[in-house]
Chains A and B, each alone.
Chain A
């Protein structure tokens, strides 16, 4: 696996090298925008804007199940890691198994379920619809308790243990101890509309994306503010590297990586900029789960692998429409990406990779 990756990275030096998807990947057209691409081992479940879940595994298997009436707006892996959870604009939260069984976990009436996260460490699930955040305790088949914030939820994030929950909203964010219906609320105030968010695995930093572009961060527990500007579009995607040292972000022409090692994290430090594009904005980022490799998707449909150590890059695909989902499987042997027009690509790094043809 490591050999394959290094070979792949070295191919980047060859300007004639074809995009990697043609060598050891495949493309599938599913006809609707993927909201998430979720791996169960080497089986991919794609949750789509037409309300369906598509299973894409080896060979020609393309099972399809309708999980929602309307669009799937949010989805994540179930904490059991053998099924997924989906939230729709029909107000439903569903659990979908790998063989297509659909079970309802909750319903929010006419409100849209726009955010869903789950933690395998704590077994908690959190879903947001409008101003309400519902929490499912480990193994619960219906919500255990819920919180209401002052305005619609912009994003949700758990720390690494799945205990601390951050809820981004207008004029800041609120932290909760998610297993408790009452305790541990902390208000993080900053004017503006706070959207997608991320919490460092150690729970010491909470970062939100702002409507006006740029990030705002808080160092915890002191609640020191951090401004992280320099973006041209709203940041929609965050990814921590496997050691929690870097936070990769979208919303600029490069992938922007903020350093989080040391006592003060990114305060007073410049970010690392990777894989700058001349004409596109980074829409999705996903760190490899086991190596220092970052997958990057752009709003022109480009997908590439980037090596932070030397900014080496390898072209994976160019789909032609904004990349909306990008994810590695847990072993890091497969990468999936999907664009707004419903084109999904899968890279299989275990597949045998033919060498470039020798030229006379």
Chain B
């Protein structure tokens, strides 16, 4: 039996007033020939009748699987199951979260529930940021920080309302939190849709490269408790050290690790090992052969809260001992 094609899910996050609904309406009104099922929290702001719009209740609950930070959205599990009865009724799903939502339970829902995993795949988390207010939000809101930390794509919206200098400061702060997200400067969320939809950001096969952190070592200013830590090694990692280290780390520190992503070289292994995770949930696989001209550099990025960069680096480097 051939597996049914998996339906991509895009999660839109962003603080109240940042422009999520503007982006959603742009996506829905563009002539792309695709039908979307849209799961919203604040119904009534969407002006498109063509697509299927579903109300969500944002019911977050803990899984009883021994993993303390493993929360999921029970309403999403139910809604996706119900939507699947309308086979062929839509091509993709967009989930709009409330401005105060922590993206983790949404993301984890797509890893934890087997039936959801079998039908749909989390494509990317897209966060819309209001350039004027984002720095103030980062100062007073946990959620604003998490929404940026979890993002695969960030729209720096309302760029016309800030000066060039202010925009640079916003970029710097956002990149210090999340060095891996793609940033787009927008007015009214105008962005080519292929930059937002069907990115495959959680697809291990599509982790192609990890952007080196643009910050130099001594440039770390700890404005935010959430930050990215990038680790690299040109010495191959020993899997018998690396895998247990990562498992132990995510078990002990999973609550603070929001996302992680890695491309790793193991000794005498022709294939790249890729890994990604959300909190304690990690997935890894051999992806493809290293190309002949590709440097076999291992890269691992953590985005998290109160990360101890020195300890992470030490643990990572201890996996990279040359085989004697």
Contacts and interface: CB of A to CB of B under 8 A. Distances in A.
A309 B87 CA distance: 39
A340 interface: yes
Given A114-B78, A152-B74, A320-B1, A50 B65 contact: no
A106 interface: no
Contact of B82 (A89, A193, A233, A342): A89
B64 A152 contact: no
Interface residues of B, number: 24
A35 interface: yes
A191 B57 contact: no
Given A151-B59, A170-B59, A320-B1, A112 B82 contact: yes
The SS class assigned to the A binding surface is loop
Contacts of B209: none
B85 A71 contact: yes
B87 A49 contact: yes
Contacts of A70: 86
Interface centre among A49, A170, A320, A342 (most CB of B within 10 A): A49
B82 A71 contact: yes
B85 A35 contact: yes
A184 interface: no
Contacts of A152: 57, 59, 74-75, 78
Contacts of A111: 55
Contacts of A210: 64
B82 A211 contact: no
B43 A110 contact: yes
Given A193-B74, A212-B64, A114 B115 contact: no
Contacts of B85: 32-33, 35, 49, 71-73
B115 to A, nearest CB: 7
A233 B65 contact: no
A30 to B, nearest CB: 12
A170 B86 contact: no
B239 to A, nearest CB: 29
A18 interface: no
Contacts of B55: 110-111
B88 to A, nearest CB: 9
A212 B86 CA distance: 25
Contact of B74 (A170, A234, A320, A321): A170
B135 interface: no
A233 B1 contact: no
Contacts of A42: none
Interface in A140-158: 151-152
B140 interface: no
B63 interface: yes
B133 interface: no
A273 B54 CA distance: 40
B86 A233 contact: no
Most chain B beta-carbon neighbours within 10 Å: one of A70, A233, A341: A70
Contacts of A321: 1
A225 interface: no
B1 A191 contact: no
Interface string B48-66: 0000001101010111110
Contacts of B54: 89, 112
A32 B87 contact: yes
Nearest to B63: A212
A130 interface: yes
Contacts of A301: 1
B59 to A, nearest CB: 6
Interface string A58-101: 00000000000011110000000000000001000000000000
A281 to B, nearest CB: 10
A234 B116 CA distance: 12
A212 B114 CA distance: 10
Contacts of A89: 54, 82
Given A70-B86, A112-B82, A114-B78, A193 B65 contact: no
23 contacts: A32-B85, A49-B87, A70-B86, A89-B82, A110-B43, A111-B55, A114-B78, A114-B82, A152-B57, A152-B59, A152-B74, A152-B75, A191-B64, A192-B64, A193-B61, A211-B63, A211-B64, A211-B113, A233-B114, A233-B115, A234-B114, A320-B1, A340-B87
